[in-house]
């Protein structure tokens, strides 16, 4: 039943931002009598959808996130569960939002049995960005790289379209679609003139587009400045068309990256998808801003003159190298996708 609830929660993968993805299944014995999921911020919570037109007295409710006990855009779900006279609530995980906590205790106070921890790791993975924003005040940062087998991501002049095949590019757009925001740097804007939008898959909304441009060098006719408004982080005051400029300088005249992540969290960004060049990639890694690497490898070589994945200093020895933990692998057409996190 909890796996069914997780499947329902995943239906909101691209739409719930900045809210968590939540699914709910209501049962009486082995029979499912109601189910639902949270679709978008401001809309009914999963429990509300699952309990619509359902006689739930004495029922068991499986929900992927602890029912909320506070009033936000919608009333507390614990009150609804009490009115419906359910007998038991099983949550996959507790709510990391300090404002929403205590739902389980309120259920117990109302005489409803409350348990949590069933398939907790799967529920956390589904809401890894929401948990990050609630507990660390920063989004979960996923750095996407497309490279050859010798680790090259672009020609010497910065051109990188296209290293991987259509299947890998489509998969990359699916990862874009689940993110709350997509980030790139001025180097990629100049070299590739990207749109930085989701195009290869249908999506009900476009993620926020973000540029790191310390000196505000983005050409005014750049494709990324077309369409929905863009957020630009800079190191000095200035303006760009169709853009909001946020000035966050560090001591070196660049953008202060950790503060940028805090600013994005304050805007409700749960998952940040990065598609940038090797210099910005390296800066993000050096400053501890990357949580996950999404790497697409193409069976080809570009040679030493081409650009690499990350601009990192050479380690003092093999033991000091950046080590990763492999999460998953998949073959997409002729390319290989690796998902890895710092070990």
Active site residues: 47
Structure tokens at 228: 């929905």
Enter the DSSP assignment of 302.
Answer: -
CA distance 113 to 159: 59
Backbone phi and psi for residue 70, each to the nearest 5 degrees, phi listed first? -125, 165
CA distance 110 to 272: 39
Instruction: Note the residue count of the chain.
Output: 343
Residue from 319, 338, 343, 299 nearest 143 by CA: 338
Residue from 338, 342, 304 nearest 321 by CA: 342
Sequence-ordered strand ranges (E) for 13-156: 23-28, 31-37, 60-65, 88-93, 113-116, 140-148, 152-154
CA distance 314 to 292: 21
Structural contact between residues 69 and 97, judged by C-beta atoms closer than 8 angstroms: no
Q: What angle do CA 228, 283, 163 make, to 5 degrees?
A: 65
Structure tokens at 333: 């057409």
Which residues touch 3 (CB under 8 Å, ≥6 apart)? Answer: 119, 122
CA distance 46 to 39: 8
């Amino acid at each position: 039943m909890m796996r069914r609830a997780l499947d329902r929660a995943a239906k909101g993968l691209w739409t719930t931002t900045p809210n968590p993805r939540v699914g709910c299944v209501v049962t009486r014995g082995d029979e499912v009598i109601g189910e639902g999921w949270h679709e978008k911020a401001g809309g009914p919570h999963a429990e509300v959808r699952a309990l619509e037109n359902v006689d739930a007295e004495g029922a068991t409710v499986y929900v992927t996130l602890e029912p909320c006990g506070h009033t936000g855009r919608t009333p507390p779900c614990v009150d609804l569960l009490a009115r419906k006279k359910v007998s038991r609530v099983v949550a996959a995980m507790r709510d990391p939002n300090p404002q929403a906590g205590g739902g389980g205790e309120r259920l117990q106070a109302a005489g409803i049995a409350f348990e949590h921890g069933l398939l907790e790791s799967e529920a956390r993975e589904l809401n890894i960005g929401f948990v990050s924003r609630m507990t660390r005040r920063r989004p979960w940062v996923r750095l996407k790289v497309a490279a050859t087998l010798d680790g090259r991501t672009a020609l010497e002049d910065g051109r990188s379209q296209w290293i991987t095949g259509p299947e890998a590019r489509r998969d990359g757009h699916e990862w874009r679609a689940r993110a709350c925001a997509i980030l790139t740097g001025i180097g990629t804007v100049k070299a590739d003139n990207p749109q930085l939008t989701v195009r290869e898959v249908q999506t009900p909304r476009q993620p926020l587009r973000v540029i790191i441009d310390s000196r505000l060098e983005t050409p005014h006719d750049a494709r990324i400045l077309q369409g929905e408004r863009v957020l630009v982080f800079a190191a000095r005051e200035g303006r760009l068309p169709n853009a909001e400029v946020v000035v966050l300088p560090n001591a070196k005249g660049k953008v202060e990256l950790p503060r940028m992540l805090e600013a994005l969290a304050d805007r409700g960004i749960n998952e940040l998808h990065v598609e940038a060049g090797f210099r910005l990639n390296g800066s993000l890694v050096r400053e501890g801003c990357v949580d996950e690497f999404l790497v697409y490898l193409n069976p080809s070589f570009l040679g030493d003159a081409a650009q690499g994945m990350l601009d990192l200093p050479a380690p003092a020895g093999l033991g000091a190298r950046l080590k990763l933990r492999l999460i998953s692998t998949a073959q997409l057409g002729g390319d290989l996708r690796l998902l890895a996190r710092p070990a």
